[in-house]
Amino acid sequence: MLETLPVTERAAAAPRRRRLSRAAPVVVAILAALALWIAPLVLDTFAVNVLTRSMIYAVLAVTVDLLWGFAGILTFGQAAFFGVGAYATAMILTAYGATPLGIAAAVAAALVAPALLGLAVGWLSFYHRSTPLYASVISLVVPIVVVQLIYAGGEWTGSSSGLVGFDVLPFESEGYFRLAALFLIVVTLAAWILVRADAGRALVALRDNEARCAYLGLNPRRLQIRLTAALAAVAGIAGFLFANASGVVAPENAGFLFGTELVIWVALGGRGTLLGPVLGTIAIDYLAANLSGDLPFLWQLLLGTAFVAIIILLPGGLADLVGRLWRALPAGRREPAPPRLVARAADPDAAASATPILTVENLAKAYGALTVLEGIDLEIRAGELVSLVGPNGAGKTTLMRCLSDGTEPFTGAIAIGGTPITGLTPNRIVGLGVGRKFQVASVFESLSVADCLRLARASHDGLSPVGQAETLGLPQAALDVLRMTGLDRLLTRPTRLLSHGQKQALELAMVVALEPRLILLDEPTAGLTKAERTTIGTVLKALTAGGRIAAVLVEHDLDFVREISSRIVVLHQGRLVLDGTVEDVVGSELVRTIYSGGAHG
Amino acid sequence: MLLTLDILTTAAILFIVSIGLLAIFGVLKIINFAHGAWLTVGAYCAVVTAKLGLNPWLALPLAFAVGAALGGLAEHFIIRPLYRRPLDAILATWGLGIVVGQLITLAFGRDVQLTPNLLAGTVEILGVDYSAYRLVALGIALAIGTLFALTIERTRLGLSARAVIMNETLARSLGIDTGRVRLVVFMIGAGFAALAGVLLTPLTSVDPNMGVAWLIGAFMLVMVADASYLALAAACLVFGAAQVLISTFVSPILGSIAIAVLAALVLRISPKGFSRA
Amino acid sequence: MAEAAGEAAAEAVRRSEPADAALALEGVSSGYGAVSIVKGVSLSVAAGEIVALLGKNGMGKTTLLKTILGMVALRGGAITVGGQALAGLSPARLVALGVGYAPQEQPLFQDLSIRDNLRLAVPSDRMLPEALERLFGHFPFLKDRLAQRAGTLSGGEQKMLILGRALMLRPRLLLIDEISEGVQPSMVERLRGVLDAERAAGVSMLVVEQHVAFALALADRYAVLKLGEIVDSGPAGAPDAQARVIGHLAV
Cα–Cα distance for residue pair A274/A200, rounded to 1 Å: 13
Cα–Cα distance for residue pair B111/B121, rounded to 1 Å: 26
Answer whether B263's CB lies under 8 Å from B221's CB.
yes
DSSP reduced 3-state for A563: helix
Domain spans in chain B, listed from the N-terminal domain onward: 2-276
CA distances, C61 to each of A18, A241, C214, C226, C230 (Å):
50, 64, 17, 9, 10
pLDDT at C13: 43
**Which among B35, B16, B17, B25 is positioned nearest to B161, based on CA atoms?**
B25
> Which chain C positions have a beta carbon within 8 Å of A561's beta carbon?
251
Contact yes or no for C210 and A391 at CB 8 A: yes
Contact yes or no for C213 and A595 at CB 8 A: no
* B172: closest CA of chain C, how far (Å): 7
> Which chain A positions have a beta carbon within 8 Å of B81's beta carbon?
312
In this predicted structure, the answer to whether residue A601 has a pLDDT above a threshold of 50 is no
> Which chain C positions have a beta carbon within 8 Å of A527's beta carbon?
35-37, 58, 227
**Which among C118, C120, C144 is positioned nearest to C132, based on CA atoms?**
C118
Cα–Cα distance for residue pair A378/B222, rounded to 1 Å: 45
In this predicted structure, the answer to whether residue A12 has a pLDDT above a threshold of 50 is no
How long, in residues, is chain C? 251
Neighbours of chain A (3+ CB pairs under 8 A): B, C
pLDDT digits over B108-149, tens only?
A: 988 888 887 788 788 888 788 888 999 999 999 999 999 999
Q: Is residue A87 part of a domain?
A: yes
- Rounded to the nearest 10 degrees, how much is the dihedral formed by the CA atoms of A60, A62, A63, A66? 160
Q: Is residue A30 part of a domain?
A: yes
> Which chain A positions have a beta carbon within 8 Å of B79's beta carbon?
none
Computed from CA positions of residues A21, A27, A32, A33, in that sequence, does the dihedral angle turn out positive or negative?
positive
How many alpha carbons lie under 13 Å from residue A461 in its C-beta half-sphere? 21
In this predicted structure, the answer to whether residue C16 has a pLDDT above a threshold of 60 is no
Q: Which residue of chain B has the CA closest to C116?
A: B159
Q: Is residue A135 part of a domain?
A: yes
Averaged pLDDT for residues A291-300: 78
Contact yes or no for B91 and A263 at CB 8 A: yes
Cα–Cα distance for residue pair A510/A498, rounded to 1 Å: 15
Buried b (16+ CB within 10 A) or exposed e, A349-379: eeeeeeebbbbbeebebeeeeeebbbebebe
pLDDT digits over B224-258, tens only?
A: 998 889 999 999 999 999 999 999 999 888 888 99
Residue C127 near chain A (CB below 8 Å): no
Residue C39 near chain A (CB below 8 Å): no
Contact yes or no for A523 and C246 at CB 8 A: no
Of B167, B169, B177, nearest to C92 by CB-CB distance is: B177
Residue A152 near chain B (CB below 8 Å): yes
Q: Which CATH number fits the domain that encloses residue C37? A: 3.40.50.300
- Within chain B, which residues score under 70 in pLDDT? 275-277
Answer whether B170's CB lies under 8 Å from C109's CB.
yes
Q: Is residue A376 part of a domain?
A: no
Answer whether B161's CB lies under 8 Å from B152's CB.
yes
Contact yes or no for C95 and B163 at CB 8 A: no
**Which among C35, C34, C52 is positioned nearest to C43, based on CA atoms?**
C52
CATH topology of domain B2-276: ABC transporter involved in vitamin B12 uptake, BtuC (1.10.3470)
> Which chain A positions have a beta carbon within 8 Å of B92's beta carbon?
307-308, 311-312
pLDDT at C14: 41
> Which chain B positions have a beta carbon within 8 Å of C104's beta carbon?
none
Computed from CA positions of residues A63, A64, A69, A72, in that sequence, does the dihedral angle turn out positive or negative?
positive
Cα–Cα distance for residue pair A483/A8, rounded to 1 Å: 11
Q: How confident is the model at residue C183 (pLDDT cuts 50, 70, 90)?
A: confident
Cα–Cα distance for residue pair A393/A554, rounded to 1 Å: 12
Q: Which CATH number fits the domain that encloses residue A496? A: 3.40.50.300
**Which among A82, A86, A63 is positioned nearest to A230, based on CA atoms?**
A63
Answer whether B9's CB lies under 8 Å from B135's CB.
yes
- Environment class of A105 (CB within 10 Å of its CB; exposed 0-12, middle 13-18, buried 19+): middle
* Partners of A571 in the β-ladder: A576
pLDDT at A464: 86
DSSP state of B113: B
Q: Which residue of chain B has the CA closest to C106?
A: B170
Cα–Cα distance for residue pair B164/B174, rounded to 1 Å: 11
Cα–Cα distance for residue pair A389/A376, rounded to 1 Å: 14
* B218: closest CA of chain A, how far (Å): 12
pLDDT at B201: 92
Kindly give the pairing relationship between strand C50-54 and strand C221-226: parallel
- Higher per-residue pLDDT: C18 or A62: A62
Q: Could you tell me which residues come within 8 angstroms of residue B83 by beta carbon, excluding any fewer than 6 positions away?
A: B28, B30, B89
Helix axes A317-328, A275-291, angle to 10 degrees: 130
Q: Could you tell me which residues come within 8 angstroms of residue A166 by beta carbon, excluding any fewer than 6 positions away?
A: A90, A93, A94, A243, A247
Residue C146 near chain B (CB below 8 Å): no
Q: Which residue of chain A has the CA closest to B209?
A: A257
Helices (H), B109-177: 132-154, 156-166, 168-173
Contact yes or no for A523 and C58 at CB 8 A: yes
Domain boundary among A258, A289, A318: A258
Contact yes or no for B90 and A74 at CB 8 A: yes
pLDDT at A51: 95
**DSSP string computed for B188-216:** HHHHHHHHHHHHHTTTS-B-TTHHHHHHH
Cα–Cα distance for residue pair A228/A67, rounded to 1 Å: 8
> Which chain B positions have a beta carbon within 8 Å of C108's beta carbon?
170
A97 in the Ramachandran plot: left (φ > 0), alpha (ψ -120 to 50) or beta? left
Q: How many CB atoms lie within 10 A of CB C170?
A: 13
Contact yes or no for C120 and B159 at CB 8 A: yes
**DSSP string computed for C61-129:** HHHHHHHHTTSS-EEEEEEEETTEE-TT--HHHHHHHTEEEE-SSS-S-TTSBHHHHHHTTSSSGGGHH
Q: How many CB atoms lie within 10 A of CB A161?
A: 10
In this predicted structure, the answer to whether residue A414 has a pLDDT above a threshold of 90 is yes
Residue C161 near chain B (CB below 8 Å): no
Residue A262 near chain B (CB below 8 Å): no
Computed from CA positions of residues C96, C97, C100, C105, in that sequence, does the dihedral angle turn out positive or negative?
negative
**Percent share of chain C, pLDDT over 70:** 90
Cα–Cα distance for residue pair C64/C69, rounded to 1 Å: 9
**How many domains is chain C partitioned into structurally?**
1
DSSP state of A339: P
Neighbours of chain B (3+ CB pairs under 8 A): A, C
* C68: closest CA of chain B, how far (Å): 11
> Which chain A positions have a beta carbon within 8 Å of C37's beta carbon?
527
DSSP reduced 3-state for A259: helix
Averaged pLDDT for residues C43-65: 88
**Which among B235, B229, B237, B231 is positioned nearest to B265, based on CA atoms?**
B235
> Which chain C positions have a beta carbon within 8 Å of A560's beta carbon?
none
Contact yes or no for A308 and B251 at CB 8 A: no
Q: How far is CA B87 from the centre of its chain?
A: 20
Answer whether A249's CB lies under 8 Å from A84's CB.
no
Q: What angle do CA A496, A500, A504 make, to 5 degrees?
A: 95
Answer whether A307's CB lies under 8 Å from A213's CB.
no
Q: Is residue A264 part of a domain?
A: no
Residue C246 near chain A (CB below 8 Å): yes
Of B156, B169, B172, nearest to C125 by CB-CB distance is: B156
Give the residue numbers spanning the domain of C16.
Answer: 2-249
pLDDT digits over A357-388, tens only?
A: 999 999 999 887 778 899 999 999 999 999 99
pLDDT digits over A93-142, tens only?
A: 999 998 999 999 999 999 999 999 999 999 999 988 888 889 998 999 99
Residue B87 near chain A (CB below 8 Å): yes
Cα–Cα distance for residue pair C66/C78, rounded to 1 Å: 14
Residue C71 near chain B (CB below 8 Å): yes
Averaged pLDDT for residues C206-213: 90
Cα–Cα distance for residue pair C148/C146, rounded to 1 Å: 6
Cα–Cα distance for residue pair A158/A178, rounded to 1 Å: 29
Residue B213 near chain A (CB below 8 Å): no
Of A595, A600, A601, nearest to C250 by CB-CB distance is: A595
Cα–Cα distance for residue pair C235/B39, rounded to 1 Å: 66
**Which among B129, B101, B82, B84 is positioned nearest to B38, based on CA atoms?**
B101
> Which chain B positions have a beta carbon within 8 Å of A121's beta carbon?
none
Residue A160 near chain B (CB below 8 Å): no
Mean pLDDT of chain A: 88
Contact yes or no for B95 and A311 at CB 8 A: yes
Q: How many CB atoms lie within 10 A of CB B212?
A: 21
Q: How far is CA A102 from the centre of its chain?
A: 39
Contact yes or no for C106 and B170 at CB 8 A: yes
Averaged pLDDT for residues C119-144: 92
Cα–Cα distance for residue pair A297/B92, rounded to 1 Å: 19
Contact yes or no for A129 and B267 at CB 8 A: no
- Higher per-residue pLDDT: A479 or A349: A479
Q: How confident is the model at residue A8 (pLDDT cuts 50, 70, 90)?
A: very low
Averaged pLDDT for residues C70-98: 87
Cα–Cα distance for residue pair A540/A524, rounded to 1 Å: 10
Least confident of A29-38, A236-245, A257-266: A29-38
Helices (H), chain B: 2-28, 35-51, 59-74, 86-108, 132-154, 156-166, 168-173, 178-200, 210-225, 229-249, 252-269
Q: Which residue of chain C has the CA closest to B163?
A: C109
- Higher per-residue pLDDT: A587 or A574: A574
CA distances, B176 to each of B24, C72, C241 (Å):
18, 16, 39
DSSP reduced 3-state for B53: coil
Q: Could you tell me which residues come within 8 angstroms of residue B111 by beta carbon, excluding any fewer than 6 positions away?
A: B207
Averaged pLDDT for residues A251-270: 94
Q: Which residue of chain C has the CA closest to A503?
A: C34
Give the residue numbers spanning the domain of A38.
Answer: 24-258
Q: Which residue of chain A has the CA closest to B77?
A: A312
Cα–Cα distance for residue pair A181/A33, rounded to 1 Å: 7
pLDDT at A366: 87
**Which among C162, C157, C165, C206 is positioned nearest to C183, based on CA atoms?**
C157
pTM of this structure: 0.86
pLDDT at A7: 44
